[in-house]
Amino acid sequence: MVAFYESAGYRVISITDHGKITRLRREEGIVYIPGIEIETRLRSSAASYHVVLIGLDSPPPRAIASDLEKLLEWARDARIFAFIAHPYWSSLSGEDLAKVSGYQGVEVYNYGCEVEISRGYSGPHWDYALSRGVISYGLAVDDAHNYVVDALGGWVEIDVKELDEEEVMKALMEGKFYSSSGVRLEHLELREGLIHVKTNGAKVFKVLSAGARGAYLSVELLERLCKSDNLPVSVEMWEEEGGKGFRLEVGRETAGSSVKVTGRLVNGRFVELRVEGRLPLRRYARLELVDELGRAAWVNPVKVRT
């Protein structure tokens, strides 16, 4: 398994089997971090939660593993990275995620669950919990069982200065990563009043937030806006070497409420987007960039002023 992922370019691997920790000898050039998947429950609910734990030496005691709240508290105290696996596949609701806290992440995309029964994407579950103030990071994973149709479809791109277990765990805990099923980010800034991304190519750009808030731009929508005269939107698009540049402005600059979007298209795909101004957001903002094949990149949320 390690050789399989190493040949595909992976440099950090964790095998998270059900109920057991897989121990491996150290491999040169690969950071291997032990992990485990635990099926557990809340005392006040019949829902079944699958929790993945990364960075532990031994399984949790049975009395702790059988209680979700105790398990998450145990993981937090031990500085173990814990996330809720495949909520859509598990038939969990957004409320099931919002009623607990202490986990660091949610599987926003599970490739195995997607190719198995089309229930791999759990973005709405994650957004519901985020909207309720339960902040966590989003992870994309394989959940591979046969390594033919269910592998190399979801992964995490981690920002580390040195490739070792301590640095990787620190980056995970601090959310210094994004998740992907195919779209790669070459540059990322996400903060109040500014979004700037450079990517290998996307057709759709989404900003998700709490309540009826957010933003959306696709290449198709941009082209339609260029042809429209009846909307309070100013759009320019021009040819440049290797692609097209564009500028879009929504709102009135004199009122201090305008949003400016500039960027670049190559081969009909966004390769750069810069959004300046105050978008209609609430509580948090996270990004999704999607290509023409439905592959995506998921950027972890940041808090914003209401």
Q: Where are the domains of the chain?
A: 2-180, 185-303
Smallest CA-to-CA distance from 112 within 173, 11, 37, 7 is with: 37
CA distance 10 to 92: 30
For the stretch 201-219, pLDDT in tens is 999 999 999 999 999 999 9
Q: Is the dihedral of CA 96, 60, 135, 301 positive or negative?
A: negative
Which of the two residues, 252 and 231, has the higher pLDDT score? 231
Residue range 2-180 in CATH 3.10.20.30: no
For the stretch 47-101, pLDDT in tens is 999 999 999 999 999 999 999 999 999 999 999 999 999 999 999 999 999 999 9
Average pLDDT over residues 171-179: 98
**Cβ atoms < 10 Å from Cβ of 64:** 18
How would residue 256 be classed by pLDDT, with cut points 50, 70 and 90?
Answer: low
